[in-house]
Chain A
Amino acid sequence: MRIVQGTLVAVLALGIGGAQAQEKKPGEKLKVGFVYVGPVADYGYSYQHDQSRKALAAALGDKVETSFLENVPEADSERSIESLARSGHGLIFTTSFGFMEPTLKVAKKFPKLKFEHATGYKRAANVSTYSARFYEGRYVCGEIAGRLSKTGTLGYIASFPIPEVVSGINAFMLGAQSVNPNIKLKIVWVNTWFDPGKEAEAAKALLAQGADILSQHTDSAAPLQEAEKQGKLAFGQSSDQMRFAPRAQLTSIVDDWDGYVIGEAKAVLDGTWKSHDTWGGIKDGMVVLAPFANMPDDVKAKAEATKKAIADGTLHPFHGPVYKQDGTEVVKAGENAPDPMILGMNWYVKGIGDTLPH
């Protein structure tokens, strides 16, 4: 369905915007466009990005004009991105991994416009990439889960087997293993970013198999609610989802893009914008953990300490020795995993029983 809807939005945007690719003149307003994969009201990933759009509008006032397209399907995103490019936008944020190739294609056609692609790895002269070190937050979550699990089994609802998701699973597992070496992790792949019904079904399946704490890399609050209903615990995703599960949410990994989005828009306005890659973590305020809740004070204090250690660089989630499932050592003792390894992660760490789908 999203295909039809996305198409309509794109067609409308084309109609309203006209077909002129304009270059910004000094003193003129900078039009900043955002392309979201989900609805802005998902209280998750797209919602957080839209919060940054609002923060941008608030911070730079009448110097910028913002607009967005929501529910844009990844497979059919090129024309949506192009519609923004054609309607006078000077800076365009494409916020989902699957927008990578379409963004590059459109960027090639409009060399004077600036593009910002989230969570991808391919850049061009007018395409920057940015992402957050979500795995840092996942490590803290894993440690909390390792301390709190009574059954010794954790559940993980995963979307697609891309490196960002896989490194999140590994960091979560390493965090849990750091306090409970025998912890078990069950993983269910739902092959979607957003389908409340399916996410709830996955949560039920994991809870039935003995998991008592759930973590998710999908966008709806359904798994949290399922945990709440069954008196179990869970972690929120992308934004603070406390309102959905006041008795179940331990914390939530909140994406905070405000600083980055505002900085990039300023750079375009000043004429200092350059293509670059940004990968911010807890230290940079890009990864924020929602207030710790539903846990004893000592666990809370330890989680705060871990968070601080990651922020000041004394703790790295992928600090060696790190082993693959088959026992191969991938990070030597005393070393940290280099960024390219984390960005291309396509293997599970030792201790995870499942096989990674490819």
Chain B
Amino acid sequence: MSLDILQMVLVTIVAAATPLMIAALGEVVVERAGVLNLGVEGMMVLGAATGFAVAVETGSTLVGAAAGAGAGLALSALFGLLTVVLSANQVASGLAMTILGLGLSGLVGASYVGLKRAPAPHLDLPGLTDLPGIGRLVFGQDGFVYFAFALAAGGWWFLWRTRTGLILRAIGDDHTATHALGLQVRTVRFRAVLFGGACAGLAGAYLSLSYTPFWAPAMTAGRGWIALALVVFASWRPLRVLAGALLFGGATVLQLNAQAAGIGLPGQLLSALPYLATILALVLLSLGRRQGGSLAPASLGRVFTPHR
């Protein structure tokens, strides 16, 4: 019995961490290129609405997920146009995208409220899924979860093991110098923004297609903002995003389970657990860092105009 509960808790933690992971990994790439996209929440919620609507119309979860990513990408294209091409203020544009995304998602999802569909299928591997203990944890998740882990590994490989990744990080650290070297600052940034938007949209589609398979307005409930915090928490590193997402998701799930189990801790303390865990992790991180100085990309959030 208790082993079953432990397994269920772990499966739930992985599922709760998945949307945070996908959205934050996208945002890591965007911010590494020097752009601060505060529109993650809007892109996520638009992805949730569009993903659900398209999945209902086509009957395919895969097409729905692709449409969700596409919706996030479309909204981020607008963001990229404003901030990268027209050099608008990134903070204001990002907030505008969040508001726009919430409004648009209400419009897109209006006639899909109250519908339900089966959640995304879990990809069971015969034999492996039935392994005691870890079987269901590792081999019984849905496609989004596997994709999130692949994205973390892929993101790490791209940023630290490829020349394009090196260029992207260099642009994020000093856009003037990289521009002087003849690198395509705005092209790279625009592509990074599109990638981040697609990830946010996909994270939203995960919520409406797999996690809680229905559409309700504002159903992301602030997860886009948590993803943004997660990027800072992970000091702009993909593998730390993975660990951080499990920690953020895990703290919430654990406190709910502790309550259900009747563990006699006061409610406020249980509710504060995620934040306490965050503070503790941040302290440990900065203790482990000897040199000091900021870990953020040096040009993060700064507007780049090439002809000045």
Contacts and interface: CB of A to CB of B under 8 A. Distances in A.
B5 A209 contact: yes
Given A1-B98, A357-B267, A198 B256 contact: yes
A191 B252 CA distance: 11
Interface stretch (B81-89, B186-194, B208-216, B297-305): B208-216
Contact of A71 (B19, B218, B252): B218
Given A5-B102, A41-B110, A201-B252, A196 B260 contact: no
A205 B267 CA distance: 16
A63 interface: no
Contacts of B211: 196-197, 200
B261 to A, nearest CB: 6
Contacts of B252: 198, 201
B164 interface: no
A200 B224 CA distance: 18
A43 interface: yes
**In which size bucket is the chain A interface?**
35 or more
Interface stretch (A181-189, A261-269, A304-312): A181-189
B217 A39 contact: yes
Contacts of A195: 221-222
Contacts of B214: 196, 221-222, 225, 244
B202 to A, nearest CB: 16
B222 A1 contact: yes
Interface stretch (B8-16, B125-133, B137-145, B279-287): B8-16
Interface string A138-180: 0000000000000000010000010000000000000000000
Contacts of B182: none
Given A42-B216, A200-B212, A225 B116 contact: yes
Contact of A188 (B12, B98, B256): B256
B294 to A, nearest CB: 27
A267 to B, nearest CB: 33
A161 B264 CA distance: 17
B102 A201 contact: no
Contacts of A42: 216-217
Contact of B261 (A8, A191, A202, A209): A209
A194 B8 CA distance: 23
B262 A354 contact: yes
B74 interface: no
A29 interface: no
Interface in A1-28: 1-2, 4-5, 8
B268 A357 contact: yes
A204 interface: yes
B221 A192 contact: yes
Contacts of B222: 1, 195
A80 interface: no
Contact of B221 (A194, A208, A353): A194
B219 interface: yes
B262 to A, nearest CB: 6
Residue of B95, B109, B114, B212 with most partner-chain A CB within 10 A: B212
A272 interface: no
Given A188-B260, A196-B207, A244-B116, 18 more contacts: A1-B41, A5-B102, A41-B109, A41-B110, A41-B217, A155-B260, A186-B260, A191-B267, A195-B221, A196-B211, A197-B211, A197-B221, A202-B260, A208-B8, A208-B257, A208-B260, A222-B214, A357-B267
What 8 A-B pairs are tightest by C-beta distance, nearest first? A357-B267, A39-B217, A205-B260, A195-B221, A196-B212, A205-B257, A41-B113, A209-B260
Interface of B: 4-5, 8-9, 12, 16, 19, 41, 95, 98-99, 102, 106, 109-110, 113-116, 119, 207, 211-214, 216-225, 252-253, 256-257, 259-262, 264, 266-268, 271
